[in-house]
Structure 1
Amino acid sequence: SADESSVIPLLVAARQLMGRLKDFIPEAQGLYERIESCRIELDDINSETERFLSGVEDDPEKLQKINERLDLLYSLIQKHRVTKADELIEKTSELQGIVDSIATGDEKTAEIEKELKGLEKELGDLAAKLSEGRNKSVPGMEKIVTGMLKQLGMPNARFRIDLTREKDFAQTGYDRAEFMFSANREVPPENLSKVASGGELSRVMLSLKSLLSSSANLPTIIFDEIDSGVSGEVADKVGRILEEMGKEMQVINITHLPQVAARGRKHLHVYKEYEGESTITRIRLLTQEERVMEVAKLLSGSEVTPTAVENARELLNAALKQQ
């Protein structure tokens, strides 16, 4: 530019000054030449810049569109929590994939529905086989359980298993089993949980577990007072059933009945000890004589009489002979 404040006019003025000084100061000649060189170079740069600027189009509308695009870019970067344009491009590809999957959703839905129908048919076939097997097994189970209940002092007991088909599938198929029971001849069987007394329920559960354990090949089965609610001759029969089960597997039974305790091959005594403010539960294997005393306690209570000890010994000896 030819503006008086631009560099080139100032360099021209400096050159003129040095031109006058070089006649008097020889060192000024070198400065004069350097200033002239700078003037020529800057003049050339100025010419090139003017030619360059003359080719640039001044379009305010286009500039506004570019600024709007930049504003949109910065807004999208903040919205999608990325830091640069490359990450925004990756995000765009990710979103496009989601859009494409939605666009093809109907086709995938049809495929899934077709697969689901196939699985439902397979599930129905398996459930039907399970149901067929159950229906074949029910009469035999009813007969065995009813027979065991009669052995346990319930001559008029009737046990029945009602199978009904549920609307939806479950983990065990579509059958719902309901245990029906009656202890009296004139009363029709009803839901076991609603009509059975504590003693009746114990005997039914013992019969069922005895049947199931023999077919399930269990290594060990634990009963927690399965003999609850029974006594006398029925208690002795409960002990015999547990003893028979013990020939096929390990049976652990918690009991307070001497008839049942006498049938066991091992007798473990569970007791509590108090140490300071703590209560500790312990368990100990009894010797034969200790076992006699424990059975005697079950017979007579806390005060053990000689008669109770003798009865306990006879009870244990009788059970041992029948093993």
Structure 2
Amino acid sequence: MLAQLYIKNYALIDELDVNFDQGFTIITGETGAGKSILLGGLSLVLGKRVDFSNIKDSSKKSIIECTFSLKDYDLTPFFDCYDLEYEPETIIRREVLPSGKSRAFINDSPVTLAVLEALGQQLIDIHAQHETLSLADDAFQFQIIDALAQTHDLLNNYKDTLADYKENQKKLESLQNQQQQSKKDYDYNSFLLQEIEEAQVLNLDLKTLESQYETLSNVDYIQSELQFAQQILSHEDVGVSTQLNELKQRFNKLKDVSSECTALFERILSTQIELEDIFTEIEHHQNILEANPQLLFETENQLKKINDLFGKHNVQTIEELNFVFEELSKKVKHLTSLDAQLESVNNLLLKNIKKLNKISSTLSAKRNCVLIDLQDELHLLLADLGMPNAVFKIELQPCSDFLFNGKDVLKFLLKANKGGQFLPLNKGASGGELSRIMLAVKYILSKHQQLPTIMFDEIDTGVSGEISNKMASIMKDMSQYMQVFTITHLPQIAAKGTHHFKVFKQDFGTTTTTQLAKLNSDERLEEIAQMLGGKEITETAKQHAQQLLN
């Protein structure tokens, strides 16, 4: 419910602060008094674009602020979705700065115009005579049918399942594309993987292998040098061991006559032991070293395989080649796993289809149950609204596709006059007729679902007094379920209101401003009498006005 409207520095309004109540609120005023200014200001807090020519003083900030009572609306999920603080009394504010920039706030939190508009659509519905195109919109027509059929929970279940279905379709398409691409790469990657596996090089120590190759390829040279080393060490006359032994004997005698030679003697002993160990090692290597052409061939072959694989995969170590092997394994295994994934997604899609078909069937049945009653109620309402010959034909036809709200194709057809033919609403009715149809539809909807505050802007244009009286009764009935505003020039409608406001212009020196005031019972009588008889209010006009109010 719109509880308060505050406007500052907008069009002809200097500053306006007005409170509203639940029920049926009437707004009247002379042509040009500024009723459209109120709607223009209100549209800004509903997310519409700013027309900067409407700012009264461009050097000052313009503010339009609305307070809405949300206790009857289930809007907590909306506030949670946009990370906004929920308040039962929510304030929406729009500011237009002298710089030309505009800002929007919900409970003092800055928001984008898109968020403002999304919330505004759930809070207030401004309906003018020329804004009836939604009647021909599929979504709006289904809203009417589904409100009567009470399919809210069923429809939400359908939409959730449809979202899953579409998501699984995307997954299936993606997997199929991957499979198609993987098949192209599968043979090549399998060949590379097999080549590395058959080479059996992943667990080899490259350094050890290279050392082994060097040794095997130089056996003769190594044996020759080891033999020469043995001769240097063990030659009977000039060998290092012979001379070191003689040196040891000499220092053995010297240590008895010179204590300084004792340390040198011990070092000679140590050197002799180390030299004997070296000799033993040389002898051992010479004994175990032998030519092995077969092992040399195998070692050389392994090194060649490794170097070939290094070059092919642009790596330099066995570790890097191992990584390449693991990546190739993943790619090859991926194709195999894709088959299982495809089967799983296909099974999910089959479940989605089964569930969607079941829900769609139930939706269709529920909708078909209310079509006749809806047609009859529309016929009765439109007859009261001056369209006694209007006949509705609402058709619900099945289709094979899963649509946004089921598998039904809905047609709202109207035959406005006798002898005419059934046509879509936007072709079969005039602008005034569409306005009356919209009023009838909104009235029916108001009894079956929580609608936002609705504001009718001169929906009664071109309507006779008798029909306007019925329109007023319908809007009055609607106000039992929701807050209803109507801007009107007709006294019959103005008299039916629970609350009555007047828009008027007021001159202050050289400046004209627009004001909005709530009328008391006496002021209201005067306003309706003036609407009946003009500026010169007669006693007859007053009596007529009183009759209307009674």
Aligned pairs for 1:146-161 within 5 A: 146-161=379-394
CA distance in 2: counterparts of 1:267 and 1:15, whole angstroms = 133
1:256 aligns with 2:492: no
Aligned pairs for 1:49-68 within 5 A: 51=284, 54=288, 59=296, 61-62=298-299, 65-66=302-303, 68=305
Aligned pairs for 1:148-227 within 5 A: 148-216=381-449, 218=450, 220-225=452-457, 227=459
Letter in 1 for 2:445: L
Equivalent in the alignment of 1:142:
375
Q: Following TM superposition, by how much is the alpha carbon of 1:69 offset from its aligned partner in structure 2, in angstroms?
A: 4.1
Q: Following TM superposition, by how much is the alpha carbon of 1:199 offset from its aligned partner in structure 2, in angstroms?
A: 1.0
In the superposition, relative to structure 1, how do residues 173 and 17 fare at CA in structure 2: closer, same or farther (>3 Å)? same
Q: Which runs of 5+ in 2 are unaligned?
A: 1-225, 506-513
Q: Following TM superposition, by how much is the alpha carbon of 1:157 offset from its aligned partner in structure 2, in angstroms?
A: 1.4
Q: Following TM superposition, by how much is the alpha carbon of 1:152 offset from its aligned partner in structure 2, in angstroms?
A: 0.6
Q: Following TM superposition, by how much is the alpha carbon of 1:294 offset from its aligned partner in structure 2, in angstroms?
A: 10
CA RMSD of aligned residues (A): 4.8
Q: Following TM superposition, by how much is the alpha carbon of 1:114 offset from its aligned partner in structure 2, in angstroms?
A: 5.1
Q: Following TM superposition, by how much is the alpha carbon of 1:158 offset from its aligned partner in structure 2, in angstroms?
A: 1.5
CA distance in 2: counterparts of 1:29 and 1:45, whole angstroms = 24
1:36 aligns with 2:266: no
1:127 aligns with 2:360: yes
**Would the aligned equivalents of 1:256 and 1:298 in 2 still touch at CA under 8 Å?**
no
Q: Following TM superposition, by how much is the alpha carbon of 1:190 offset from its aligned partner in structure 2, in angstroms?
A: 0.3
Q: Which runs of 5+ in 1 are unaligned?
A: 273-281
Aligned pairs for 1:242-281 within 5 A: 242-247=475-480, 249-258=481-490, 259-267=492-500
In the superposition, relative to structure 1, how do residues 213 and 85 fare at CA in structure 2: closer, same or farther (>3 Å)? farther
Q: Secondary structure at the match of 1:133?
A: helix
Q: Following TM superposition, by how much is the alpha carbon of 1:169 offset from its aligned partner in structure 2, in angstroms?
A: 1.8
In the superposition, relative to structure 1, how do residues 93 and 138 fare at CA in structure 2: closer, same or farther (>3 Å)? same
After TM superposition, the structure 1 stretch with the greater mean CA deviation from structure 2, 39-48 or 156-165, is 39-48
In the superposition, relative to structure 1, how do residues 305 and 271 fare at CA in structure 2: closer, same or farther (>3 Å)? closer
Structure 1 or 2, whichever has the larger Rg, is 1
**Would the aligned equivalents of 1:206 and 1:226 in 2 still touch at CA under 8 Å?**
no
CA distance in 2: counterparts of 1:46 and 1:161, whole angstroms = 113
Alignment partner for residue 535 of structure 2, among 305, 308, 312?
Answer: 305
Q: Secondary structure at the match of 2:410?
A: strand
CA distance in 1: counterparts of 2:540 and 2:242, whole angstroms = 141
CA distance in 1: counterparts of 2:242 and 2:515, whole angstroms = 116
Q: Following TM superposition, by how much is the alpha carbon of 1:101 offset from its aligned partner in structure 2, in angstroms?
A: 1.6
- The total of aligned residue pairs comes to 298
In the superposition, relative to structure 1, how do residues 158 and 86 fare at CA in structure 2: closer, same or farther (>3 Å)? same
Q: TM-score if structure 2 supplies the norm length?
A: 0.43
Q: TM-score if structure 1 supplies the norm length?
A: 0.68
CA distance in 2: counterparts of 1:136 and 1:158, whole angstroms = 19
**Would the aligned equivalents of 2:395 and 2:410 in 1 still touch at CA under 8 Å?**
yes
CA distance in 1: counterparts of 2:273 and 2:457, whole angstroms = 116
After TM superposition, the structure 1 stretch with the greater mean CA deviation from structure 2, 58-67 or 125-134, is 58-67
Structure ranking higher on relative contact order (CA contacts 8 Å, 6+ apart): 2
Alignment deviations for residues 73-131 of structure 1 (CA, whole Å, 9 cap, x no partner): 899797xxxx98998898678657635423545xx62x654554454334323322222
In the superposition, relative to structure 1, how do residues 49 and 250 fare at CA in structure 2: closer, same or farther (>3 Å)? farther
Q: Secondary structure at the match of 2:448?
A: helix
Q: Percent identity?
A: 25
